[in-house]
């Protein structure tokens, strides 16, 4: 990741990492695989097909670490490759939820509005669009656990955007 050139920075990585830890309190999954994937899932974010390119990079990186369990390299790479695509396995879906949950954090709100500004949205139009975005993100969560864990943050995000929209009425 290039610092300052993406909105998926180290704070996002750590948000996803913490979300994996939260989800694993209630859902089954390989902790080592999921947490390793969290640390590296956006390592090639600036590249085209960043999930695929990230998976290739991480396979090589983890293979070069003798202490890393070799039997876990492929599962980590599969999660990284699938994190922004169609998730099929339980762990891919769990990881996708951890990644999506970060959008509902305070940093996630700011990150979204920074992206809207970069795309030339007015604050008013960004507010309207943002509500649709977080509604979609919430509906696309795979696990009931993720929905339960971020329900209050989801409502906070909607209230924030609705309050912004009130400024334009």
Strand blocks (E) in 83-153: none
For residue 156, what are the CA distances in angstroms to 134, 160, 163? 11, 6, 10
Q: Supply the pLDDT for residue 1.
A: 29
pLDDT score recorded for residue 3: 40
Long-range CB contacts (< 8 A, 24+ apart) of 43-47?
Answer: 43/1, 43/80, 45/1, 45/6, 45/8, 46/1, 46/2, 46/5, 46/6
Task: Report the pLDDT value the prediction gives residue 48, as an integer from 0 to 100.
Answer: 81
- Residue ranges per structural domain of the chain: 10-86, 104-166
pTM for this prediction:
0.92
Rounded CA separation 6/138 (Å): 23
Residue 45 neighbours by CB distance under 10 Å: 20
The alpha-carbon radius of gyration of the chain (Å, integer) is 17
Which residue in 91, 143, 136 sits closest to 112, CA to CA? 136
Residue 94 near residue 23 (C-beta atoms within 8 A): yes
pLDDT for the residue 169:
78
Query: In the structure encoding, which two tokens stand for residue 44, read together?
Result: 């090639």
Q: What is the mean pLDDT of each run of 10 residues along the chain (169 residues)?
A: 56 96 98 97 82 91 97 97 92 97 95 93 94 97 98 97 89
């Amino acid at each position: 990741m290039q610092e300052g050139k993406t909105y998926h920075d180290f704070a996002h990585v750590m948000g996803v990492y913490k979300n994996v830890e939260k989800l694993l309190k209630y859902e089954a999954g390989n902790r080592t695989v999921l947490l390793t994937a969290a640390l590296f899932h956006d390592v090639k974010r600036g590249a085209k097909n960043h999930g695929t390119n990230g998976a290739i990079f991480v396979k090589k990186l983890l293979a070069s670490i003798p202490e890393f369990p070799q039997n876990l390299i492929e599962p980590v790479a599969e999660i990284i490759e699938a994190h922004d695509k169609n998730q099929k396995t339980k762990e891919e879906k769990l990881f996708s939820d951890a990644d999506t949950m970060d959008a509902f954090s305070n940093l996630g709100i700011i990150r979204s509005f920074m992206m809207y500004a970069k795309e030339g949205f007015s604050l008013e139009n960004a507010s309207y669009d943002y509500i649709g975005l977080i509604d979609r993100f919430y509906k696309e969560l795979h696990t009931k656990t993720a929905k339960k864990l971020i329900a209050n943050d989801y409502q906070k995000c909607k209230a924030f955007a609705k309050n912004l929209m009130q400024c334009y009425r």
